Homo-oligomer: A and B are copies of this chain.
Amino acid sequence: MRRRHFIAVLALTGSLLALPALAAEQSKPTPTTKELLARSKPAEWRTPDPENLLLMRLPRGQVVIELAPDFTPLHAANIRTMVRAHYFDGLAIVRVQDNFVTQWGDPASDDHGDKSKLRSLGKARSTLPPEYTRPIDPKLEWTALPDGDVYAPEAGFSEGFPAARDTASGQEWLTHCYGMVGVGRDNGPETGNGSELYVVIGQAPRRLDRNLAIAGRVLEGMPLLSGLPRGEGPMGFYDKPAERTPIESVRLVSELPQAQRPIVQVLRTDSATFAALLDAQRHRHDAFYKVSSGKVGLCGIEVPVREQARTPAKH
């Protein structure tokens, strides 16, 4: 009983609730995300360009990552070059640090790795300009959040990704929210190249914003990256090679035969349905909630994803 009800409520909180626009409707419980999404229009969903979608195959399933070339175009291009050369096939998840990141790449680049076995980057570049921020471009979607942000002057969503901006400097950037994929690098700002990637698996480490290039976002398969045993070596690296999760392959979806392509759609962050979800998150009222927060933080809402046709929806 207790659990059943707590389940029901968390079904709502794991997703979102909608705020009826009129005070007269306040007595109705807020509809669930599922209900709001069911009412959404087809045009409110964006189908990512298959040139921007990576499919990473792991022993227990597949992960779909959307690249963010509007923010990190050179990194997207370099990652595509590596993926087309099958650079990641046979590499591994080498690190899982609790409440921080899961990281994958070439095990030979570990501190104790055999550097003579480092995989060649092939035609990919070994260094890239930082791309930590970009000039604000009015042509890019910007959906501002109304409740402020601890770390940035303004927070919101751009092209489906959590982002922040500073009109004083004229810059905008993607933010380190749960599921965002960043580019590991050396101390030098040009030392990242996309061959080592990490994904945020805990509380958003926003201090990393503007210090690392963000390559994109995991659209599907986060549990395959977040639910791994934590590495017991320094910084969450696995002590023993056998603890690593092997990467079977990474492919650009554009390279796959049509029949193998996941049909993934992302709710447009400039859509009325996304606005309703945000509003619902802020002004929740139902049998469970005693008080609504009245607020929503940037990393407190995940942009809905749906997969159609060949595989069942994950969200």
Kindly state whether residue A165 has any CB partner on chain B within 8 Å. no
Say whether A293 contacts B178, CB under 8 Å: no
Given that A6-B196, A230-B226, A287-B187 are contacting pairs, would A300 and B14 also be in contact in the complex, using a CB cutoff of 8 Å? no
Q: How far is the CB of A206 from chain B (nearest CB, A)?
A: 6
Say whether A300 contacts B185, CB under 8 Å: no
Q: How far is the CB of A302 from chain B (nearest CB, A)?
A: 7
Binds B, one of A37-45, A79-87, A103-111, A268-276: A103-111
Q: Which chain A residues (12-30) contact chain B, with CB distance < 8 Å? A: 13-14
A218-236: CB near B (< 8 Å → 1, else 0) gives 0000110011111000111
Say whether B297 contacts A222, CB under 8 Å: no
Kindly state whether residue A256 has any CB partner on chain B within 8 Å. no
Say whether B178 contacts A99, CB under 8 Å: yes
* Among B7, B132, B236, B296, contact of A235 (Cβ-Cβ < 8 Å): B7
* Chain A, interface residues (CB within 8 Å), range: 35 or more
Given that A2-B185, A96-B227, A105-B3 are contacting pairs, would A150 and B110 also be in contact in the complex, using a CB cutoff of 8 Å? no
Residue of B with least CB distance to A293? B207
Given that A6-B196, A148-B150, A228-B227 are contacting pairs, would A203 and B205 also be in contact in the complex, using a CB cutoff of 8 Å? no
CA distance A132 to B290 in the complex (A): 10
Binds B, one of A51-59, A67-75, A208-216, A245-253: A208-216
Say whether A5 contacts B185, CB under 8 Å: yes
Q: Which residues of B contact A151 (CB under 8 A)?
A: 293, 295, 297
Kindly state whether residue A189 has any CB partner on chain B within 8 Å. yes
Kindly state whether residue A184 has any CB partner on chain B within 8 Å. yes
Q: Which residues of B contact A205 (CB under 8 A)?
A: 13, 300
CA distance A283 to B9 in the complex (A): 39
* Among B13, B179, B189, B210, contact of A207 (Cβ-Cβ < 8 Å): B13
Given that A97-B14, A302-B99 are contacting pairs, would A211 and B289 also be in contact in the complex, using a CB cutoff of 8 Å? yes
Given that A7-B235, A230-B223 are contacting pairs, would A290 and B211 also be in contact in the complex, using a CB cutoff of 8 Å? yes
Q: Which residues of B contact A226 (CB under 8 A)?
A: 98-99, 202, 230
**Residue positions of A touching B, CB distance < 8 A:** 1-7, 9-11, 13-14, 94, 96-101, 105, 109-111, 130, 132, 147-151, 177-179, 184-187, 189, 191-193, 195-196, 201-211, 222-223, 226-230, 234-237, 281, 284, 287-293, 295-297, 299-300, 302
* 6 tightest A-B CB contacts, nearest first: A223-B230, A5-B186, A150-B297, A6-B184, A3-B109, A187-B287
With A13-B205, A14-B236, A148-B150 already in contact, 5 other A-B pairs whose C-beta atoms are closer than 8 Å: A4-B109, A7-B237, A206-B297, A207-B281, A211-B291
